[in-house]
Structure 1
Amino acid sequence: YNMFAIVRNKYKFAARDKRFVKVQHIETNPFAPDSIQEVISSLNRLIELTARYLKLNDSQIQKMTESNPRPDLLEKFRKKAVAAKNESELLQTAKDYLHQNKQAKFMVVDDRCQKKYGAVIFKTAQGYTAYRRIVKYFAVESLINWVNKKGSGSLTEELISEIGKIPLYTVWHNVGGQVIPEEKLKELFEKIKSSAIVSWAGVHAFYDECDSLYIDFKARYALYLLEHLYSRPICEFDAAIFQDITSDTLVVSEDMLTSSYSSREKDYTDFFRSVTFRNKDEMEAVLGTINDSSFLQDLKVATKDFNADVEKLFEPLR
């Protein structure tokens, strides 16, 4: 796990792209729609598995629970899970439990993984929280890019209404580096079959069109994701929800910066990386110091600017 490399690659790949004519539009952001749809899938799976956990008997619950600071909540939600009238109600119960007992450490078994034995997932509630934060980060970043494109630093009710008119795409594919909605790909195939597109130039023109609308498509997807996370339309979001989104996004932003520094620091503190140098002075003469990293300095500035944008994004709506 190397956050320094992950974050750096986002900028490095773009900086190293020296093409004069960029025919192919390549997404370098690790938090792209095709990745986020997998995160959403994982969130939904954790909810399903938590629902199973809540319906275990006493001995099974004890075996699968490492620690639980709120045993009263566990018993309350176990009863609600048993009393659930349908699957939708059961899943909502599991989701509510994950929200209200974030510090609980329990295990779930996913029989879809490792066909013979299944996979044991540890720290389910913590994983659920982390995934939600990642989705919020993507959503906020996408909305910031969209409002900046519109020349506004913040979202207003009018702008939200405008985003709502953009077509919603929830399934995405990486097509040679460019991330495109599945429905747009189907549209491309149909145009080729019907001879509406008859050349590679026509295909690339279609890709160009998708790229020109990419920020719009992501903004609409971002709105959908936030509504999905909070199980209500954005018009029903209150100040507390907007603050929760803001806070979680800032947590991810700061974690990325801190983890990047920590990952880079290993180059100076890891024993096996230092054995080729006789002393610290020699190592710093070759590698420089961690503060000499231009990327980390740029990331620090970029993080500060991004955090400022995050703080003002929802101001008119609070």
Structure 2
Amino acid sequence: GERLLEERNSIVDELEILAEGFENSRRKTKLIKVLPAYGIFKELISYYGVSQLVNLAVEKKINSWKDFLQILPLRAKRSSWVNVGGQLLPRASLDTMVKQLHSGKIKSWNEVHAFYQKNGDLYKDQKLQHAFASLLEINKLTPSKFNRKVFKKLLEQAIATREWMLKAIYDSRAKDHHNEFRRMVYETQEQMDKVLGKLDENTFINQQEMEFQQFKSQANNLIRLFKL
């Protein structure tokens, strides 16, 4: 299956591909548009990993490739996570809490809340480990193969992905302004702008544009600092 997806073999479109656990139903859950979705998900997972590395380097004020390598979680392994009341926890942490409840080690709500708080404090580092492990796995890399050349390529790809995301957001919002069937309910452009707001003043689009430019600047700065 993976080979067919990686090769973008058109035979995938003819296959019945089912998912488990997506619906609370006995019926089959059939996945559609699998080929394009597979490529997009790979791209987004890679972006997720790179963005966390960029955040790490910026936060720690890392100025060299050597220093950067020293703070990377090179032994990180990807594990499953669960949403517990709105808080994301590694499955292993949840299993630990359940065992401690059964054994009586955790005896009160205060101790449960303390467990949540402790894991909340660990979340940032756990997320970094998950992101880096995911980045390596999705790109079929080992820690030893994560070098300057690879990181530069990943940074450039991440910039392109973030730009694609921005364009998709803009195009989605622009439909309301350019679709003739939507425009026909307004007598003038001014009337439409009052109801929908001007496209170039859309707060969400402008926020995304600002975040893209910031990410692009940070990524390019790392390329320069690390001499990639």
TM range (shorter): 0.7 to 0.9
Report the equivalent of 1:158: 70
Indicate the larger mover: 229-238 or 245-254.
229-238
Q: Using a 3 Å threshold, how does the CA distance of structure 1 residues 269 and 251 change in structure 2: closer, same or farther?
A: same
Residue 261 in structure 1 maps to residue 170 in structure 2: yes
Report the equivalent of 1:241: 150
Alignment of 1:197-216 (within 5 A): 197-216=106-125
Q: Using a 3 Å threshold, how does the CA distance of structure 1 residues 291 and 154 change in structure 2: closer, same or farther?
A: farther
Q: Using a 3 Å threshold, how does the CA distance of structure 1 residues 199 and 258 change in structure 2: closer, same or farther?
A: same
Report the equivalent of 1:174: 83
Report the equivalent of 2:18: 112
Partner AA of 2:154 in structure 1: I
Q: Using a 3 Å threshold, how does the CA distance of structure 1 residues 215 and 311 change in structure 2: closer, same or farther?
A: farther
Structure 2: which 5+ residue stretches go unaligned? Answer: 21-25
Partner AA of 1:285 in structure 2: K
Query: Secondary structure of the equivalent of 1:213?
Result: helix
Query: What is the root-mean-square deviation of aligned Cα atoms in Å?
Result: 3.1
Report the equivalent of 1:28: none
Report the equivalent of 2:191: 282
Residue 188 in structure 1 maps to residue 97 in structure 2: yes
Alignment of 1:36-185 (within 5 A): 46-47=1-2, 50=4, 95=6, 98=7, 106-108=10-12, 109-112=15-18, 124=35, 126-152=36-62, 156-160=68-72, 163-164=73-74, 168-185=77-94
Out of 211, 220, 232, the position equivalent to 2:141 is 232
**TM-score, normalising length: structure 2:** 0.80
Q: Using a 3 Å threshold, how does the CA distance of structure 1 residues 269 and 154 change in structure 2: closer, same or farther?
A: farther
- The count of aligned residue pairs is 218
Asked whether the equivalents of residues 46 and 139 of structure 2 are also in contact (C-alpha less than 8 Å), the reply is: no
Asked whether the equivalents of residues 257 and 303 of structure 1 are also in contact (C-alpha less than 8 Å), the reply is: yes
Question: For the residues of structure 2 that align with 1:180 and 1:254, how far apart are their CA atoms?
Answer: 30
Asked whether the equivalents of residues 106 and 123 of structure 1 are also in contact (C-alpha less than 8 Å), the reply is: no
Question: For the residues of structure 1 that align with 2:138 and 2:41, how far apart are their CA atoms?
Answer: 11
Q: List structure 1 segments (4+ residues) > 4 angstroms apart after TM superposition.
A: 113-123
Report the equivalent of 1:298: 207
| Residue 201 (structure 1) shift | 2.2
**TM-score, normalising length: structure 1:** 0.59
Indicate the larger mover: 282-291 or 170-179.
282-291
Structure 1: which 5+ residue stretches go unaligned? Answer: 1-45, 51-93, 99-103
Partner AA of 2:71 in structure 1: L
- State the Cα deviation string for residues 233-272 of structure 1 (Å, max 9, x = none): 2222344422331122112211111111111112212234
Question: For the residues of structure 2 that align with 1:113 and 1:207, how far apart are their CA atoms?
Answer: 31
| Residue 165 (structure 1) shift | 5.9
| Residue 143 (structure 1) shift | 2.1
Question: For the residues of structure 1 that align with 2:184 and 2:113, how far apart are their CA atoms?
Answer: 51
Question: For the residues of structure 2 that align with 1:286 and 1:120, how far apart are their CA atoms?
Answer: 37
